[in-house]
Amino acid sequence: MHMLIAYSTTEGHSAKVARFAYDTLLREGHTGTINDLDNVSRMPELAGVDGVVLVGSVHERRHSPALETFMQAQRAWLSKRPTVLLSVSLSAAFEQGIEEARDYVVETELRTGYAPNDTVLVAGAVKPGSYDYFENQVLRFAVLKDREYEVGTSDHEFTDWDALRARLLCFFEASTASRRSGE
């Protein structure tokens, strides 16, 4: 299998998630390319791609314009191969936030007209050193509001890497099976 891993990040955590997906892919004996969708000078190479891992974070309830533009522009191409969206948000880190995290995905699907085959809600990270005053206020009073976490001065990752690895392995396995059955 040759996979494209395409990501968009604001504070860097989705880049780390994408790199993790890429390393997991290679460890399983597959090949792939990893692309930063925010870097417009390097549009992903689509030729020869069997499946796609899309990775992007949520800010103020939306996935980034770069990710949504790619999903919308390439929806015909994407719909012909297995795809998974790794949606990175802080809502996904809290039981009471899961429904909201799902809503972000549904809203993206409605806006882009494209629904991936599978979606993983990935708990993101808090990086206090990366925020300006406004972002800090949004994070504390809009995103984390009544959730049981106090933003301190150090970074904190909520991502469950083992659970993410298990979901990726399922996706790679299912993609390989569907490719074989199409041959």
Ligand X SMILES: Cc1cc2nc3c(=O)[nH]c(=O)nc-3n(C[C@H](O)[C@H](O)[C@H](O)COP(=O)(O)O)c2cc1C
Strand partners, 59: 62
Q: At what angle do helices 13-27 and 161-182 cross, to 10 degrees?
A: 50
Q: Rounded to whole angstroms, how far apart are CA atoms 172 and 167?
A: 9
Establish how many alpha carbons lie within 13 A of residue 103's alpha carbon, considering only the half-sphere containing its beta carbon.
8
User: Given the complex with ligand X, which of 28 and 38 has the nearer CB atom?
Assistant: 38
Q: At what angle do helices 98-112 and 65-73 cross, to 10 degrees?
A: 50
Q: Look up residue 164 and give its amino acid.
A: L
Exactly one of 19, 98, 131, 140 binds ligand X (CB under 6 A); that residue is 131
Residue 135 engages ligand X in binding (rule: CB under 6 A): yes
Taking the complex as a whole, how short is the minimal distance between the CB of residue 153 and ligand X, in angstroms?
A: 15
Residue 14 engages ligand X in binding (rule: CB under 6 A): yes
Residue 12 engages ligand X in binding (rule: CB under 6 A): yes
Alpha-helical (H) ranges within 79-160 are: 98-112, 133-138
Taking the complex as a whole, how short is the minimal distance between the CB of residue 20 and ligand X, in angstroms?
A: 12
Interface stretch with ligand X, choices 33-41, 55-63, 108-116, 173-181 (CB under 6 A): 55-63
Q: Using an 8 Å Cβ cutoff, are 5 and 21 in contact?
A: yes
Interface stretch with ligand X, choices 46-54, 56-64, 66-74, 166-174 (CB under 6 A): 56-64
Residue 138 engages ligand X in binding (rule: CB under 6 A): yes
The residue number with the shortest CB distance to ligand X is: 124
Taking the complex as a whole, how short is the minimal distance between the CB of residue 97 and ligand X, in angstroms?
A: 6
Q: Rounded to whole angstroms, how far apart are CA atoms 128 and 122?
A: 19
- From residue 74 to residue 113, what is the string marking binding to ligand X with x (rule CB under 6 A)? --------------xxxx----------------------
Count residues binding ligand X (CB under 6 A): 23
Residues that bind ligand X (CB under 6 A): 9-14, 57-61, 88-91, 124-126, 131, 135, 138-139, 143
